[in-house]
Amino acid sequence: MRLVLLGAPGAGKGTQAVFLKERHGLAHISTGDIFRHNLKNNTPLGLEAKKYMDAGQLVPDELVMKMVDAKLSEFGENDGFMLDGFPRTVPQAEFLESKIKLDGVILFKISDEAIVKRLTSRAVCKECGAVTNIHEHDKCPSCGGELYRRDDDNEDTIRSRLKVFHEQTEALEEFYRARNLLLEVDATGMPEEIFARVLELLSK
């Protein structure tokens, strides 16, 4: 099974990806991880991307596609995976379509207000990286480690990121809806409830 996970920052894609990996053995391909790998290892693609990032510019579609293409080449014909953070634009979606056949595109639907509330309450463990609610825990519930707040988990930054997401994703939704690949999931509620909805959609 080969899927694309679409959803606003804070919609819960990462959590659901963990569930899908455990249930179906799908590899989780995150563009954030791809970027970090290329930058950390000073690959030619990473060095090229760094020039744009250091200048405060967006990394061009063509360069992002090259990075993703290199990652996809690591998988065999029958390997299943989820793409998280790619595609973000229609040209990227067209590129992906030319490379692989998707089984579905899961769109995690949740209101902006719910996301703002969720992310402004988010805390991350310094020890194990677990994510929790700052209002519910003063220590990591998984390992007891110290919690911290991400600098970008403030309302102004979150709303700015949401605006960019909506501008980019509207066209993508239509692109995949026209191909009968779009699966819309209500992303409110507990993670286990959301995952049950995901499995129900995939079973169809």
* Pairwise CA distance, residues 158 & 40, whole Å: 26
Active site residue 122: yes
Helix (H, G, I), strand (E, B) or coil at 132: strand
Active site residue 88: yes
Helix (H, G, I), strand (E, B) or coil at 150: coil
CB-CB contact of 18 with 97 (8 Å): no
Active site residue 150: yes
CB-CB contact of 17 with 82 (8 Å): yes
* Pairwise CA distance, residues 102 & 4, whole Å: 8
Candidates 2, 13, 118, 197; catalytic one:
13
Candidates 50, 66, 149, 161; catalytic one:
161
Candidates 150, 159, 177, 179; catalytic one:
150
Candidates 21, 50, 122, 149; catalytic one:
122
* Pairwise CA distance, residues 182 & 172, whole Å: 10
Buried b (16+ CB within 10 A) or exposed e, 40-51: eeeeebbeebee
DSSP tag of 129: -
Candidates 2, 71, 88, 197; catalytic one:
88
∠ Cα 74 79 11 (to 5°): 90
Residues assigned a catalytic role? 13, 88, 122, 150, 161
